[in-house]
Amino acid sequence: MITELLQLTDDHLFQVHEFCIKCKKLNYVNNQSLEAMKWDKAIWFGHFADDKIVSLSGVHDFLDGYRVMFRGATLSGVSNKFLNKIQAHAQMDYINNIHDKSIFYFTLNISNNAGAKSNRLRKWVHTGRGWPGSTYIGTQEVYGEVQEIWEL
C-alpha cells in the first residue's frame, strides 16, 4: 500500500539506491543509478510503500520555467498509474511557493524504443486526455534525446 509522498533529500539516498537497483533489474535505463537519473540536477519527489520508494520524479530549471516529471519512474506492479502526475502537482506547488508565477513543461521521448509506458503516455497526451490543457511547443534534444516539449 502506498503510504506517502515526500520530497526526497540526501537523507533518502539509501532508499533511492534501492529504487535504482530495482529499476536496473527492470531495465529502466534512466533510473538505474544516481548518475543516470541525474540526481544532482533536480528536486525529487517520491511515493513510498512500507518505507521503500515505489515511484519518483524530479523537477528542474528548463527553458524559461521548470520541467516536471523528470526521469519519472514507477516500479512494475504498483497499481496507481498516476503517481508521476501526482508528483508533478507537488513539484509545481513546491516551485510556486518559491516563485510567484512559474511556467511548467513536461517532455516526452519521441523514440518508439523508449519503453511501453513512455509510448502509452505519449499516445494519451496526443489524445488530449494525458494532461488536458497542455500545449505542444515543439521538439528539441534534451540530455541527448529528442523530446516533445509540452507547456502546462
pLDDT tens sequence across 109-144: 886 555 445 555 656 566 666 677 888 999 999 988
42 φ/ψ angles, rounded to the nearest 5 degrees: -145, 170
- The mean pLDDT value of the chain amounts to 86
pLDDT for 133 equals: 80
At 70, the amino acid letter reads F
In terms of DSSP H, where are the helices of the chain? 13-25, 34-37, 83-98, 116-127
Set of cell numbers at residue 107: 517532455
Q: Is the dihedral of CA 50, 54, 60, 63 positive or negative?
A: negative
Set of cell numbers at residue 3: 503510504
At 150, the amino acid letter reads W
Q: Options 3.40.50.300, 2.40.100.10, 3.40.630.30, 3.60.15.10; which CATH number does 4-151 get?
A: 3.40.630.30
State the pTM of this model.
0.86
What average pLDDT score do residues 48-52 get?
Answer: 92
Q: Identify the weakest region by mean pLDDT among 30-39, 52-61, 106-115.
A: 106-115
What average pLDDT score do residues 66-95 get?
Answer: 88
